[in-house]
Chains A and B, each alone.
Chain A
Amino acid sequence: MLPLSIKDDEYKPAKFNLLLKLSGWFRSILADKTSRNLFFFLCLNLSFAFVELTYGIWSNSLGLISDSFHMFFDCTALLAGLAASVISRWRSNDSFSYGYVRAEVLAGFVNGLFLIFTAFFIFSEGVERALEPPDVHHERLLPVSVAGLLVNLVGIFVFQHGGHGHSHGDGGHGHSHSLFNGSLSHGHGGHGGHGHSHDGHGHSHDGHGHSHDKHGDHGHMDDGFSAGVLLHIIADTLGSIGVIISALLMQKYDLMIADPICSMLIALLIGVSVVPLLKESIGILMQRTPPSLDNALPECYQRVQQLQGVYNLQEPHFWTLCTDVYIGTLKLLVAPDADTRWILSQTHNIFTQVGVRQLYVQIDTAAM
Chain B
Amino acid sequence: MGIKFFLLVSRQGKVRLAKWFYAVPTKERSKIVRDVSSLVIVRKPKMCNFVEYKGEKIVYRRYASLFFICGIDQDDNELIILEVIHKFVEVLDKYFGNVCELDLIFNFEKAYYVLEELLLAGELQESSKTNVLSAVLAGDAESEVDAQQDTIQKLVGNVKKF
Q: Do A and B bind each other?
A: no
